[in-house]
């Protein structure tokens, strides 16, 4: 099993993701350069947080044209596992691997704080070791985390059990007050139709060891490793 973490100009969570995979899950991991189409035989691709290409034009709008993302598209279509975190989620939406788009936060301010997210589906490699309704504490850090999609896309996400996380209270209640960015129906993470591509705004790599004050993010990473082991 081998993980690959993409580096774009402007990525700033690439080393965090690399460290979490290497040190927390104890799995082989390598960096993948944005300008190269070579995925180096990786089994899982992480599209990390940051500001790819400076977020010029629109978050993820330039990154989707990079050589590495063309390879990621093919990898995902063939069933490869892809995890997009924060800016990575934005890039996956721009690349057409996930529906919808991430807009400016409703309050038009950058939000950086721990939040609670409720697990809505365990029918993915990323969440199969979790419990439906389980509440995780994982931090966010974004300006454009306001997820939006049209009504047909939202209906499809619901019908296909593809809404994976929703912002909630610590008790698991999905309320407007628990929504940090105005995201439609408190959506914090969704998956692809094939369930092999996950995009989420919270940062699990920032909540992976006690020293960071939160450990729930490690549950997602360990679930992913376990899923690969079962293959």
57 pLDDT more than 90: no
- The pLDDT assigned to 129 comes to 96
The structural domains of the chain, ordered by start, are 3-230 (3.40.50.880)
Which residue numbers are catalytic? 86, 203, 205
125 Cβ partners below 8 Å, 6+ apart?
81, 195, 196, 223, 224, 227, 228
Question: pLDDT tier at 141 (50, 70, 90 boundaries)?
Answer: very high
Strands 101-103 and 81-85: unpaired
pTM above 0.85, yes or no: yes
In the chain, the percentage of residues whose pLDDT exceeds 90 is 96
- The pLDDT assigned to 231 comes to 65
Q: Between vectors from CA 28 to CA 222 and to CA 33, what angle results, nearest 5°?
A: 110
């Amino acid at each position: 099993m081998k993980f690959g973490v993409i580096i774009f100009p402007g990525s700033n969570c690439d080393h965090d993701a690399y460290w979490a995979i290497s040190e927390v899950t104890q799995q082989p991991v390598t960096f993948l350069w944005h300008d190269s189409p070579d995925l180096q035989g990786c089994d899982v691709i992480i599209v990390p947080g940051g500001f790819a290409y400076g977020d010029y034009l629109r978050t993820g709008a330039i990154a989707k044209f990079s050589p590495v993302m063309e390879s990621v598209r093919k990898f995902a279509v063939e069933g490869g596992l892809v995890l997009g975190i924060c800016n990575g989620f934005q890039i996956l939406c721009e690349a057409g691997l996930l529906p919808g788009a991430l807009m400016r936060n409703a309050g038009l301010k950058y939000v950086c704080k721990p939040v609670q997210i409720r697990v809505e589906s365990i029918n993915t490699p990323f969440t199969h070791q979790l419990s439906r309704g389980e509440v995780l504490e994982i931090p966010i850090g974004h300006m454009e985390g306001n997820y939006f999609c049209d009504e047909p896309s939202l209906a499809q996400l619901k019908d296909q059990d593809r809404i994976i996380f929703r912002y909630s209270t610590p008790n698991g209640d999905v309320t407007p007050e628990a929504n940090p960015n105005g995201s439609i129906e408190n959506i914090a993470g969704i998956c692809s139709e094939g369930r092999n591509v996950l995009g989420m705004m919270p940062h699990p790599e920032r909540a992976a060891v006690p020293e960071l004050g939160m450990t729930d993010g490690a549950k997602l990473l360990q679930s992913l490793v376990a899923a690969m082991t079962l293959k």
